[in-house]
Each structure stands twice: as C-alpha cells, then as structure tokens.
C-alpha cells in the first residue's frame, strides 16, 4: 500500500517497476503481446500506462463509466456482472491472469458491466486510443487483438449453451472443467486449485441458487468425483466430470 513515493521522500520502488514490461512478464505468451517480436513488444510497453493494484472486493470499473482503458490481468481474479433494473446481478464471467477486461465498452465508449476483484489483484492499464494507433504499425498486434475479441464472443456463446441447455449438475461440472482447463493453460494443476469465488457467486453465474451449488458439491463428493474443503477443490475423476459436462453421463 505504501509502494508509491511521495514527492519529497526517497521512492520505495523505482518508477520503472510500476511500468509494464511485457517481455519480462510470464504471461506474454497468453496476453495481448502474444507472438510479437522484441521491438514490437517494447513499443507496446511504451503505451501501457502503469500497473494498478486492485484490492479484494474493489471495483476496477463500473457500468456507465467512460471507457479509456483496457485492462490486462497480471495476477488475481475478477468477476464481471451486469445489474438489471431491479438491482439484481448476473455474473457474466470470471477472469484470471492473462485475460483482457473492458472490451464490451468499445462500442458505446462506456462500460457495460461492473468488474470487481475477487482477491488482491494487479492489472496493466492499456490506453485504448494509443493501442488503436499502434494497430496501424503492428499488424500482428491487431491480428491477435481480433483473436482475443473473437475468443470472448465464443466464450460467451458457450455460457449461453450452459445457461440455456444444461441441467444443474451438468452446469456445475462444466464450470469445474472450464476452470481446470484454464489453470492448466497457465501451468497450474488442473486437478487441485482454489475457488476464488463464493458458492453464491458460482450459483449466480450458473443460474442456480447457493443451496443448489451446495447440494451439488455434496453429491459430487458422495459420488467420489470431487474432494472439497471450503474453497480448496480436488478433482478426483476428471474424465467423469467431463462426461457429465458433455451430457454423456449423469451423477446417478
């Protein structure tokens, strides 16, 4: 919290360390600079404003906030959610390191949802105007940006499939399988990980109640597919979970 320097005291950290440096970031194979050579990566670094820490439960941006930045998650987890006329919320996604936040705001120049940190997190601020200027000079960057937006469209289509078509146990299995695969991509265990979100948040995301989630966990435990203690999860039968998620098997 005291890492920023005031005007007349010795800086506790160098200013450079607050600036982004894609080349040295462990996520550059996953994040926006994917596939760029060293010089292009440096040009991208030059426009990336600063790293910003977001404490647990803090809000990165709110619906209707004017849009200036995209945010690349360096570490930590976020949730994005929409709020309807009644103040009810629907979580539209959980985001983790290497993923980009804010793309839904490009169209209207205002954010279309809230983004909240699920734990203490850090993001790189990417000024979108300057990023657009770079697109003209780095075709590879533009191409990868399109892939990222397209991927987000596909991700949301999969959630629509989940919400519209699946029964409760299938939804929950699909949720776990999805998390597992994303942790694997990031070099973490795909069978043992911590849930960063509460039961309530899982339920909201999946269109279920907290009680249903709790009952599903108990059912999966009894079935022997899963071990859960608080937010610590161990997947004991990944293939079985995948089959349940695909709808080719049930719990019974």
Q: Which two tokens stand for residue 186?
A: 């990031």
Q: Considering the rule CB under 7 A, would residue 149 count as an interface residue with DNA?
A: no
**Which listed option, its own copies, DNA, none, makes contact with residue 200 (CB within 5 to 8 Å by class)?**
DNA
- Dihedral angle at the C-alpha atoms of 176, 80, 46, 30, nearest 10 degrees? 20
**Which listed option, its own copies, DNA, none, makes contact with residue 142 (CB within 5 to 8 Å by class)?**
its own copies
Q: Which two tokens stand for residue 161?
A: 């499939």
String marking each residue 205-224 x if it binds DNA according to CB under 7 A: --xxxxxxxxx-xx------
For the bound state, the minimum distance from the C-beta of residue 86 to DNA, rounded and expressed in Å, comes to: 12
Which parts of 95-167 fold into alpha helices (H)? 128-135, 139-165
126: helix, strand or coil: strand
**Where in 103-122 is the site for its own copies (CB under 8 A)?**
103-108, 112-113
Q: Which two tokens stand for residue 50?
A: 């600063």
Q: Which is nearer to its own copies, 86 or 252 (CB)?
A: 86
The correct pick among 161, 185, 231, 234 for binding its own copies (CB under 8 A) is 161
**Which listed option, DNA, its own copies, none, makes contact with residue 85 (CB within 5 to 8 Å by class)?**
its own copies
Using CA atoms, how far apart are residues 51 and 41, in angstroms rounded to an integer? Answer: 16
Contact indicator for 102, 71 with CB cutoff of 8 Å: yes
Using CA atoms, how far apart are residues 72 and 141, in angstroms rounded to an integer? Answer: 14
For the bound state, the minimum distance from the C-beta of residue 160 to its own copies, rounded and expressed in Å, comes to: 5
> What Å distances lie between residue 175 and 12, 67, 158, 179, 181, CA to CA?
42, 30, 11, 6, 10
**Which listed option, DNA, its own copies, none, makes contact with residue 247 (CB within 5 to 8 Å by class)?**
its own copies
140: helix, strand or coil: helix
Binding-residue total with its own copies (CB under 8 A): 46
Nearest to 176 by CA among 161, 156, 197: 197
For the bound state, the minimum distance from the C-beta of residue 89 to DNA, rounded and expressed in Å, comes to: 14
**Where in 164-223 is the site for its own copies (CB under 8 A)?**
164-165, 204-207
Enumerate binding residues for its own copies (CB under 8 A): 82, 84-86, 88, 90, 92, 103-108, 112-113, 132, 135-136, 139, 142-143, 146-154, 156-161, 163-165, 204-207, 246-248
Enumerate binding residues for DNA (CB under 7 A): 167-169, 198-200, 207-215, 217-218, 228-231
């Amino acid at each position: 919290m005291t890492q920023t320097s005031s005007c007349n005291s010795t800086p506790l950290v160098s200013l450079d360390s607050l600036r982004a440096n894609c080349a040295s970031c462990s996520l550059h194979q996953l994040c926006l600079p994917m596939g760029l050579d060293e010089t292009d990566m440096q040009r991208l670094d030059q426009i990336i404003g600063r790293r910003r820490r977001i404490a647990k439960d803090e809000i990165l941006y709110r619906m209707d906030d004017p849009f200036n930045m995209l945010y690349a998650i360096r570490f930590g987890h976020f949730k994005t959610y929409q709020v309807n006329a009644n103040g009810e919320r629907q979580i539209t996604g959980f985001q983790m390191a290497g993923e980009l936040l804010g793309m839904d705001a490009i169209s209207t120049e205002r954010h279309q949802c809230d983004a909240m940190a699920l734990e203490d997190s850090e993001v790189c601020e990417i000024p979108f105007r300057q990023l657009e200027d770079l697109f003209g000079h780095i075709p590879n960057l533009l191409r990868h940006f399109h892939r990222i937006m397209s991927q987000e469209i596909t991700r949301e289509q999969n959630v629509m499939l989940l919400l519209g078509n699946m029964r409760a146990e299938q939804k929950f299995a699909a949720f776990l399988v999805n998390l597992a695969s994303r942790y694997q991509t990031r070099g973490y265990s795909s069978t043992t990980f911590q849930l960063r979100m509460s039961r309530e948040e899982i339920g909201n995301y999946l269109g279920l109640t907290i009680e249903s989630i709790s009952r599903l966990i108990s059912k999966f435990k009894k079935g022997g597919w899963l071990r859960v203690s608080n937010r610590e999860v161990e997947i004991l039968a990944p293939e079985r979970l995948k089959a349940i998620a695909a709808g080719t098997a049930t719990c019974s």
